[in-house]
Structure 1
Amino acid sequence: MRNSAVCVALLSGLGLLSSCQSNLVPAATPTTAANSAGTTPTALRGTRWLLRQVGNQPLTASPDKEIYLQLNAAEERAEGQAGCNRFRGSFTLPAAGELRFGPLLATKMACPDLNTETAFLTALNNARRYRISADTLYLHGESTATVLATLQAQRQ
């Protein structure tokens, strides 16, 4: 998405910025996290992660639009589908197991129900840590005690 009329902020209450500019910060850490079973986890970057649960709320699959997150393998760019609207922004990996999203900008289409979309974008905005177990990505806030969102690698 370029600096255009399509690029708008969702809600300032979510901590999203209204500018289409962002600063990229180089990643200095690996993009996968080891899991307890010792198997090779799915790569964090370059994988299309489908949203399966936000907080304690499981999602029912929609054949129309999959809600997903994808982190670019070469750049610190995130993009995805939040439900009704597409989003893009930056991310950083400050240390092993840490993930932070920069400003996430989204289209602003009229949608009948934005509850899941708002919850997903809020989870991304509040994410500070992550854990990958096999093909499942768990996003956490400051504490790993609470899972903000659960995503599963898309099988091809």
Structure 2
Amino acid sequence: MRFPFLFLALLAAGCQTRPAAETAATPPPLARTAPDAPLRETRWVLRQLAGQPITVPADTREPYLTLRADGTAEGNGSCNRFRGSFFSENPSELKFSPLMSTRMACPALETENAFTRALGQSNTYRISGDTLRVLDATGAAVARLEAVYLR
């Protein structure tokens, strides 16, 4: 008759739970989130225009944008450098003056022109981690850029 007693003892042991105090003292795992990249003095590399991923021909550069602390906007559309001014006087505001550019012919000229047009349509922005979304006056994303840190 030992078998039923042993069975009941094992069954009771399997049903025990941790005391409430021990469960409450165990902290939940921490969610790690990266801080948002700064708008200024960050190299923002273009990844999408109007929701479409961009492709860069092998003999051209990655399009990028850098917004300087003095209000200067500069970058490269893929072949041509551009420069102008930007305004961000209110939270989330981002507007550009007309951008001046060199005008060399290149295989990525269509992407380059679309990039500078998107910056010209800019009204606001949103940064989440290493992602900058440039939004037009309706709130639609005209460009998505990614912070790239140089080593």
User: Where does residue 71 of structure 1 map in the other structure?
Assistant: 67
Report the identity percentage: 46
Letter in 1 for 2:85: S
Task: Compute the displacement of 1:68 (Å).
Answer: 0.1
Aligned partners of 2:148 and 2:67: how far apart in 1?
Answer: 13
Please say if 1:106 is aligned against 2:101. yes
Amino acid at match of 1:90: S
**CA displacement, residues 14-64 of structure 1 (integer Å, 9 cap, x when unaligned):** xxxxxxxxxxxxxxxxxxxxxxx9853100000000000000220135554
More relative contact order in 1 or in 2 (CA 8 Å, sep 6+)? Answer: 1
Output the TM-score relative to the length of structure 2: 0.72
Gaps (5+ residues) in structure 2? 1-31
**Runs of 4+ that moved beyond 6 A:** none
Shift of 1:94: 2.7
Give the number of equivalent residue pairs: 118
Which residue does 2:75 correspond to in 1? 80
Q: Which has the larger radius of gyration?
A: 2
2:90 and 2:51 mapped to 1: Cα distance? 27
Q: d(CA) in 1 for partners of 2:107 and 2:132?
A: 28
Under a length normalisation based on structure 1, what TM-score does the superposition of the two structures give? 0.70
Once superposed, what is the RMSD of the aligned Cα atoms?
1.8
